[in-house]
Amino acid sequence: MKYKSKNDFLNTVVDKYKDQQEFHQAVEEVIGSIWSTATKNKKYMQANILDRIIVPDRSIIFRVPWVDDNNNVQVNLGYRIQFNSSIGPYKGGLRFHPSVNLGILKFLAFEQVFKNSLTGLNLGGGKGGSNFDPKGKSDREIMRFCHSFMDELFRHIGRRTDIPAGDIGVGAKEIGYMFGQYKKIKNVFSGVLTGKGTNWGGSLIRPEATGYGLVYFTINMLETQDDALEGKTVTISGSGNVAQYACEKLIELGAKPVTLSDSSGFIYDPDGITQEKLEYVKKLKDSRSARISEYAKKYKVKFFANQNPWSIKCDIALPCATQNELDLRDAKKLTKNGCIVVAEGANMPCTKDAVHHFIDKKILFGPGKAANAGGVAVSGIEMSQNSTRIPLKREQVDNLLKGIMDKIHSTCVDFGSQKGFVNYVDGANIGGFVRIADSMVDQGVV
Ligand code: NDP
Ligand code: 2IT
């Protein structure tokens, strides 16, 4: 083998992709788990899976020009990373956020490859987006931006090639504008995007799926210790799609969510966020410019400016905002305060050191690629409804979602059990990897 050790391999990744720290972090986490599985397998080594799996099939970068409300011409960068298609067409969200760059999208697309594999569906991995900032933009500006973005993206996607969906800054509204433009350019009505409106091919439960799935996975983890969700106090970060529906399912199942946040700070509601209060948050956050601090004013609770919620005592913590939002200091605060479960609703919200801390302390830690896979799983179910042209009922989709989360959980247990402890990071990485690697071997050097 050309690498002396795992660290030798990882050093070459850092050298090759100097400015892509988030990508290094994601690769290091996966390689840390799969190194021995990969290097002991003769077929994987002959096919050089290790070198091949960390390089995207292609990275597309393009100009997105648009006209703002003052008639000024603006330009953003658009991206689509088509990472791996060994088990299905590329699938993964689009993120619109000023922090978006190639390294961030490569980490997200790389994670998506393993996440999609874990769902058991035939979905390859991809991710895309733009450094466009939807905050402070009018609806018309967002529409013009989405149309221009699709003016280029359309030539790279298709229902059997690459099927984007939402992520940070992209929800039903943006998917609508992009779908409309794709249909106009191609003159085909197809399931080329997921997260569509239910009038035009969207699946019931898709908006809820990531948050609901996260809670189902949390329950599965608790059950391994004969514990249950009811009565547990839960801290949540974020107040967007994933955070809102995680909160909703927690309320329904008798847990007590006490925090929500955004990039300005967090609110702490010690009495618990109720469904009525959550409906207020959903309406408030219809506008991406609205701030969660409004909740504090309305319900007379405390708002902590420029802080995250990990100092609040809880049984369960669900980071649902963004990458690296929970570091070692936060992790120590959580375990010191008695937190027994951390499940990642966001992609890679915990830093490497924070993850190691949780595993050292042997608490239940659910990595994003397993715990937040419910969203892409229901996207897969939306695709199959588009193909059959038969929409499923709410309960049918919810049952399929539960079944997929159960299956992901048992894959993690199968591949991650270590002397009475489940290392979900290893379980998810190895479980996701084996299916991809076997498929790559089957298909030869392509
Ligand atoms: P939304 O745009 O709906 O909400 C994002 C939330 O996170 C907002 O509250 C936002 O606050 C906060 N946030 C974003 N960036 C930052 C930041 N840099 N610092 C602090 N807070 C921040 O996105 P989603 O809920 O869809 O996505 C949240 C996470 O879940 C992401 O990591 C995403 O990749 C992941 N995910 C999403 C899935 C989906 O189906 N949507 C599926 C699986 C994972 P503000 O309004 O101030 O920006
Ligand atoms: O990170 C993710 O899994 C998503 N943003 C959802 C992807 C999808 O295709 O539904």
Check pLDDT > 90 for residue 18.
yes
User: For residue 168, what pLDDT band results from cuts at 50, 70 and 90?
Assistant: very high
Q: What mean pLDDT do residues 421-445 have?
A: 98
User: For residue 2, what pLDDT band results from cuts at 50, 70 and 90?
Assistant: confident
Q: Residue 206 CA: which ligand 2 atom is closest? A: 10
**Domain positions in the chain:** 58-188, 209-366
Mean pLDDT for the chain overall = 98
| 21-52 pLDDT tens trace | 999 999 999 999 999 999 999 999 999 999 99
Check pLDDT > 90 for residue 374.
yes
Distance from the CA of 188 to the center of ligand 2, in angstroms? 23
Q: Which fold has domain 58-188?
A: Rossmann fold (3.40.50)
Question: What DSSP designation does 334 have?
Answer: H
Q: What mean pLDDT do residues 105-109 have?
A: 98
| 81-100 pLDDT tens trace | 999 999 999 999 999 999 99
Note the pLDDT of residue 266.
98
Confirm or reject: Cβ of 382 under 6 Å from ligand 2. no
- The number of CA neighbours under 13 Å toward the Cβ of 9 is 24
User: For residue 284, what pLDDT band results from cuts at 50, 70 and 90?
Assistant: very high
| Nearest CA-CA partner of 214 in 195, 227, 229 | 229
What is the distance between the alpha carbons of residues 194 and 164, in angstroms, rounded to a whole number? 7
Q: Do domains 58-188 and 209-366 have the same CATH topology?
A: yes
Distance from the CA of 116 to the center of ligand 2, in angstroms? 9
pTM of the prediction? 0.98
Note the pLDDT of residue 1.
82
For 99-120, give the DSSP string.
T--HHHHHHHHHHHHHHHHHTT
Q: Residue 264 CA: which ligand 1 atom is closest? A: 47
Note the pLDDT of residue 189.
97
Residue 444 burial by Cβ neighbours in a 10 Å radius (0-12, 13-18, 19+): exposed
209-366 to CATH, choices 2.60.40.10, 3.40.50.2000, 3.40.309.10, 3.40.50.720: 3.40.50.720
User: For residue 382, what pLDDT band results from cuts at 50, 70 and 90?
Assistant: very high
| Nearest CA-CA partner of 41 in 443, 441, 414 | 441
What is the distance between the alpha carbons of residues 14 and 264, in angstroms, rounded to a whole number? 32
